[in-house]
Amino acid sequence: MRILFVGDIVGSPGRRLVEERLQDIIEQERLDLVIANADNVAGGFGIIPRLAEQLLASGIDVLCGGNHVWDRKEILEYLPQQPRLLRPANFPAGVPGSGLYVGRTRGNETFAVLHLQGRTFMPAIDCPFRAADRELGRVPEDVKVIVADVHAEATSEKQALGWYLDGRVSAVIGTHTHVPTADERVLPAGTAYITDAGMTGPQDSVIGMEKNSVLARFLEGLPVRFEVAANHLAMNAVRLEISAETGRATSIERALYRLD
């Protein structure tokens, strides 16, 4: 199974890049499944129903949120209605939406996506390790391909979850920090791993935001309103090859697509 995981989509520049390039990428690379992190698509913070539907229509099969998933109140009623938009599974019981999606690819092969959020330097929510145990227990036995989006700040926590889930999921893909890491590998029990997939949006920025406003915040220490930058658009992504029969990954590689 050929899978593309698209790194955090930031604002209208990131959406534009996905909408203009993704269908060609799907056809050229014969992709079976596309997963993306969409925690920052609405002006850099959160997601709204209209934008979620646009991204799903562009060819993305499953969207994952993160710590900003609740920033736009419109999403509270939408999440229970759209199972292909996930919020982290380790939020407390009773919050809207789900952290697990089970579906079928374009080729009618089964897959699951699990979405977790870290706790180190992040909001205090439930344990992602125990939440993973619980959610994996809900995956039907015949579903072998399982991709986990781990939205976390600390590299150590992402790596720990990678080792904890090695052999139990097909891939652990880190998101949230918007900077791609160079540690992609297939772990010993067959789980593809990378600490962060990177960002889809303006590269002439500070993690997607207009750089001068961020510099002012660092230099002066005063509150500043951040705006999404606009220049040098690129999509950081990860390509995965996974056996549909065993769920074990055979390869993982970083990918970079630009807007021509």
C-beta of residue 129 within 8 angstroms of C-beta of residue 136 = no
Residue identified by tokens 């269908």 is: 23
The amino acid that residue 64 corresponds to is C
Distance CA 158, CA 150 (A): 7
The closest alpha carbon to 11, from 178, 239, 149, 151, belongs to 178
**C-alpha distances out from residue 173 to 41, 82, 218, Å:** 19, 22, 30
69 class by beta-carbon count within 10 Å (0-12 exposed, 13-18 middle, 19+ buried): buried
Kindly state the DSSP code that residue 201 receives in the 8-state scheme.
E
Distance CA 233, CA 57 (A): 21
Question: Annotated catalytic, 68?
Answer: yes
| Alpha-helix residue ranges (DSSP H) falling in the chain | 11-28, 49-57, 75-78, 128-136, 155-165, 211-220
* Active-site entry in 68, 151, 176, 178: 68
Q: What is the DSSP string of 136-184?
A: HTTS-TT---EEEEEE-S-HHHHHHHHHHHBTTBSEEEEESS-S--S--
Residues with catalytic roles: 68
